[in-house]
A and B are shown apart, each in its own frame.
Chain A
Amino acid sequence: MSAIEPTVFLIDDDKAIRSAVKNLLESVGLRTEVFSSPREFLKGESKDKPGCLVLDVRLPGASGLDFQGELAKAHVEIPVIFITGHGDIPMSVQAMKAGAMDFLTKPFRDQDLLDAIQRAIGRDKARRQQQNEGVEIRNRFNSLTPREREVMSLIVEGLLNKQAAAQLGTSETTVKIHRGQVMRKMQAQSLPDLVRMSERLGPLPKSISPSSD
């Protein structure tokens, strides 16, 4: 999934701008897809691909700012860079507040756009990695037996083996064995590592169906 090369998605109603920006991005080896309207962009599957969105603030129909809001509502978390022919301060403030990565005024310095795109792609990559990691951790967690999950939930709360054994009504040796299994299956290097993973998983349920795949 993360092996797919990131793509820059450009939405601008001006054909000349679309072709010029595409040309620039391709000259530095960036994959680029262009759209004349948000509607066209949403129609395809592009929004789920890794990359970033370069968006003209003024678009026919809905404005770029409206569209940004729509994306957020639809939980499309692709980073957005705004370009505008006529950026006024309130507009850029609004855009940045709504989570825009950058706000560039046309004509922009090419390096500014490329830097902004690199930052956005980097953020997208990190976000996706994090997202992937979360999925991975959940998969690992799901591979635990119910008993192991109980053990994990106790030890990440900071209980000693002995205390956990007492709570579970079992022997300390059994808890030790389960704990070893948990550390192996969760691929945790250390107890803090496991705690971090458990935090990513959120409040641990007492029992999760083993076959949640």
Chain B
Amino acid sequence: MIFFDSLFSSNDFMPHGFCYLWKPGLVWLHAVSDALIALAYFSIPITLIYFIRKRKDLPFNWMFLCFGAFILACGSTHVMEVWTLWHGTYWLSGAIKVLTAMASLPTAVLLVHLVPRALALPSPEAMRLEIAERKRVQEELRSAKDELELRVQERTAELRKANQDLVAEIAQRKRSEEQLHTAQAQMAHMARMTMMGELTSSIAHEVNQPLAAVVTNGDACLRWLGNEPPNLNKARESVTGIIREANRASEIIKRIRALAKKTPPQKTLLAVNEAIEEAIGLVGAELARHRVSLLKELGPDLPPVLGDRVQFQQVILNLIANGIDAMDAVNERPRELFISSKSIDDGRVLISVSDCGAGIGQGSADHLFEAFFTTKQHGMGLGLSISRTIVEGHGGRLWAMANELYGSTFQFTLPMAVAAGASA
């Protein structure tokens, strides 16, 4: 209480005006100057508070508060200067100075610490430069991006065009390939017809055989029925024979028709041995007429190949016909034609037709498979060339080689149909 009493009382101190001898000019000079300073000092913190409230993003804004507090305290000391002109409360003015010192010192210390950090802050000019630089870079980036976009579009268009060209070219190639296939099929058909023309008498014989059997069985049937008493069992047997042989004739005609037909090749699962036997069935008489014995060695359990039955048989027939022709001049040894089939190593079937004829002349060997090359009086020289085309069209190979003793061997391979459907 005593402390507060003495703080707020002037005791016996003389007011500060005494020092100025109460000269009104001097007293008012101090009074007005201090009052104005105080006014200014009080207004500054308000402005500062307003400022930091608006700019919350500023760094070190607490420093502004420190400044505010310090200036407010300084303002108070100037108010006290005016007050003590007339009232000697120097304890109070001293206490306010203590408060002012307490607000000022930490601010001064903090400011010292703050300076390096404040100095590290970029100057607005630097900021502006940097921002301008960034803007420029960004602009460049954007333009680069735009340019890139443009170039990507251009390139895409080019690619699309190239792609279209490619599609067109593929279509064109496909068309050409189809045309080639059609032409090849036509050639094959033509050669087949030529070959069948040469085999006409043999083919006619093959049809005639079952028909003769039909007629003879029919005659026999009538006789069995005419016997006294009629032998119905035998008559029935005869009719069975008639039906069987009529079917056989029809079957042969079907095969011939298939060979003569002009259909595009159709690849199916092909039982090699069965197809070979069928082909042989058409040339039996031709073999007999040329006194050629046929020896067969058809491998058991051959897996099927994927191929066109008609074209396959065309190749077989062609090789047989060549073999027969090759042995035409042979009289001093039996004319034997050897046909074999077997599966070899890597999923292929090897078919071989071997004769004991004159063999391939040295000069002919190179041209054997060329179109229109022939050593025969008749014939167009298409057989082997087309046979090779057919075999290669089936993914196989056809070649010829000389036998050790007499004649030559023609062999071809066909890939097995190893697809999953093969066993179906």
Residues of A within 8 A of B (CB): 13-14, 16-17, 19-21, 23-24, 26-28, 58-63, 66, 85-86, 106-110
Expressed in whole angstroms, the Cα–Cα distance for A19 and B241 within the complex equals: 8
Closest to B286 in A: A58
Q: Determine if A27 and B216 form an interchain contact, defined as CB atoms under 8 angstroms apart.
A: no
Contact of B293 among A16, A19, A61 (CB under 8 A): A61
Q: Determine if B241 and A61 form an interchain contact, defined as CB atoms under 8 angstroms apart.
A: no
Which B residues are in CB contact (< 8 Å) with A108? Answer: 212, 215-216
Q: Determine if A23 and B220 form an interchain contact, defined as CB atoms under 8 angstroms apart.
A: yes
Closest to A60 in B: B293
Which A residues are in CB contact (< 8 Å) with B208? Answer: 85-86, 106-107
CB contact under 8 A between A23 and B293, given known A17-B212, A61-B334: no
Which B residues are in CB contact (< 8 Å) with A19? Answer: 213, 241
Q: Determine if B288 and A23 form an interchain contact, defined as CB atoms under 8 angstroms apart.
A: no
Which B residues are in CB contact (< 8 Å) with A59? Answer: 288
Q: Determine if A20 and B216 form an interchain contact, defined as CB atoms under 8 angstroms apart.
A: yes
Interface contact tally, CB-CB below 8 A: 92
Most A-side CB within 10 Å, residue of B220, B227, B294: B220
Closest to A88 in B: B201
Expressed in whole angstroms, the Cα–Cα distance for A110 and B213 within the complex equals: 11
Q: Determine if B216 and A107 form an interchain contact, defined as CB atoms under 8 angstroms apart.
A: yes
Q: Determine if A110 and B219 form an interchain contact, defined as CB atoms under 8 angstroms apart.
A: yes
Question: Which residues of chain B in 212-237 are interfacial with respect to chain A, using CB atoms and an 8 Å cutoff?
Answer: 212-217, 219-220, 223-224, 227, 231, 234, 237
Which B residues are in CB contact (< 8 Å) with A86? Answer: 201, 204-205, 208, 285
Closest 9 CB pairs of A and B: A110-B219, A58-B288, A106-B212, A107-B215, A27-B223, A20-B216, A107-B212, A16-B213, A24-B220
Closest to B210 in A: A16
**Counting CB contacts under 8 A, is B324 at the interface?**
no
Contact of B212 among A13, A60, A62, A85 (CB under 8 A): A85
Question: Which residues of chain B in 116-167 are interfacial with respect to chain A, using CB atoms and an 8 Å cutoff?
Answer: none
**Counting CB contacts under 8 A, is B291 at the interface?**
yes
State the interface size on chain B (CB cutoff 8 A).
35
Q: Mark B94-114, 1 if CB is under 8 A from A, else 0.
A: 000000000000000000000
Q: Determine if A17 and B216 form an interchain contact, defined as CB atoms under 8 angstroms apart.
A: yes
**Counting CB contacts under 8 A, is B81 at the interface?**
no
Expressed in whole angstroms, the Cα–Cα distance for A17 and B201 within the complex equals: 18
CB contact under 8 A between A60 and B220, given known A20-B213, A20-B245, A106-B212: no
**Counting CB contacts under 8 A, is B209 at the interface?**
yes
Which B residues are in CB contact (< 8 Å) with A28? Answer: 223
**Counting CB contacts under 8 A, is B390 at the interface?**
no
CB distance from A107 to the nearest CB of B (A): 4
Which A residues are in CB contact (< 8 Å) with B291? Answer: 61-63, 66
Q: Determine if B238 and A23 form an interchain contact, defined as CB atoms under 8 angstroms apart.
A: yes
Q: Determine if B288 and A24 form an interchain contact, defined as CB atoms under 8 angstroms apart.
A: no
Closest to B204 in A: A86
Q: Determine if B213 and A24 form an interchain contact, defined as CB atoms under 8 angstroms apart.
A: no
CB contact under 8 A between A60 and B213, given known A16-B248, A27-B220, A27-B227: no
Q: Determine if B245 and A58 form an interchain contact, defined as CB atoms under 8 angstroms apart.
A: no
Q: Determine if A23 and B212 form an interchain contact, defined as CB atoms under 8 angstroms apart.
A: no
Which A residues are in CB contact (< 8 Å) with B215? Answer: 107-108
Expressed in whole angstroms, the Cα–Cα distance for A58 and B205 within the complex equals: 10
Which B residues are in CB contact (< 8 Å) with A85? Answer: 205, 208-209, 212, 285
**Counting CB contacts under 8 A, is B211 at the interface?**
yes
Which B residues are in CB contact (< 8 Å) with A24? Answer: 216-217, 219-220, 223
Closest to A21 in B: B216
Contact of A60 among B205, B216, B238, B287 (CB under 8 A): B287
**Counting CB contacts under 8 A, is B244 at the interface?**
yes
- Besides A20-B214, A24-B216, A110-B216, 19 other CB < 8 A contacts? A14-B209, A16-B241, A16-B248, A23-B234, A24-B219, A27-B224, A59-B288, A60-B287, A61-B293, A85-B205, A85-B208, A85-B209, A86-B205, A106-B209, A107-B211, A107-B212, A108-B212, A110-B220, A110-B223
**Counting CB contacts under 8 A, is B53 at the interface?**
no
**Counting CB contacts under 8 A, is B181 at the interface?**
no
**Counting CB contacts under 8 A, is B289 at the interface?**
yes
Q: Determine if A60 and B285 form an interchain contact, defined as CB atoms under 8 angstroms apart.
A: no
Q: Mark B279-309, 1 if CB is under 8 A from A, else 0.
A: 0000011011101011000000000000000
Supply 21 A–B pairs (Cβ within 8 Å), ascending by A.
Answer: A13-B288, A16-B241, A16-B245, A19-B241, A20-B213, A20-B214, A20-B241, A21-B216, A23-B217, A24-B219, A26-B234, A27-B223, A27-B234, A28-B223, A60-B293, A62-B291, A85-B205, A86-B208, A106-B209, A108-B216, A110-B216
Expressed in whole angstroms, the Cα–Cα distance for A118 and B103 within the complex equals: 159
Which A residues are in CB contact (< 8 Å) with B209? Answer: 14, 16-17, 85, 106
Expressed in whole angstroms, the Cα–Cα distance for A19 and B214 within the complex equals: 11
Which B residues are in CB contact (< 8 Å) with A60? Answer: 284, 287-288, 293-294
Expressed in whole angstroms, the Cα–Cα distance for A61 and B284 within the complex equals: 11
Expressed in whole angstroms, the Cα–Cα distance for A106 and B209 within the complex equals: 8
CB distance from A38 to the nearest CB of B (A): 12
Expressed in whole angstroms, the Cα–Cα distance for A24 and B219 within the complex equals: 7
Closest to B238 in A: A23
Q: Determine if A58 and B224 form an interchain contact, defined as CB atoms under 8 angstroms apart.
A: no
Expressed in whole angstroms, the Cα–Cα distance for A61 and B285 within the complex equals: 11
